[in-house]
Amino acid sequence: MISIKTQKNDNSYIGVEVLGHSNYDESGKDIICSAVSILSYTLLNSLNSIGKIDESHIDIEENETKGLLVIKLTKQNKKTNILFECFLVGIELLMEDYSDYITLKHEEV
């Protein structure tokens, strides 16, 4: 199961944690893990390239074995919120067909 948890502060997204493996198929053939990974890494790279957030304001934790990617922002703007919303649109679309393999939670911090 892939667990996705977003964090917001004062209606601004400040982070996301993606953890786990879907076990939908074997490694290298798992379309759900692939889809979540590409959405997650697109978000990460877009925060810098489109959101104009300097890498020094993006904290990243990764562990491929655990299927872990944590992104935390120390600086946000309107574009970063839009990028998080786009990420969530992709996750929610994926969950329409594969909700047995993904959970999504939101928390206010």
pLDDT higher than 90, residue 1: yes
- Compute and round to an integer the Cα radius of gyration of the chain: 13
| pLDDT at 20 (0 to 100) | 96
Give me the CATH number covering residue 78. 3.30.70.1490
pLDDT higher than 90, residue 28: no
Please check whether residue 73 is in contact with residue 13, taking contact to mean a CB–CB distance below 8 angstroms: yes
pLDDT higher than 90, residue 27: no
Instruction: Calculate mean pLDDT across residues 43-69.
Output: 96
Q: Give this prediction's pTM.
A: 0.94
Domain that holds residue 70: 2-108
Fill in the amino acid letter for 109. V
Query: pLDDT tens, 5-18?
Result: 999 999 999 999 99
What DSSP letter does each residue of the chain carry, written as one string?
-EEEEEEEETTEEEEEEEE----SSSTTT-HHHHHHHHHHHHHHHHHHHTT---GGGEEEEEETTTTEEEEEESS--HHHHHHHHHHHHHHHHHHHHHTTSEEEEEEE-
| pLDDT at 94 (0 to 100) | 97
**How do 2-9 and 102-108 pair as beta strands?**
parallel
- Tally the domains of the chain: 1
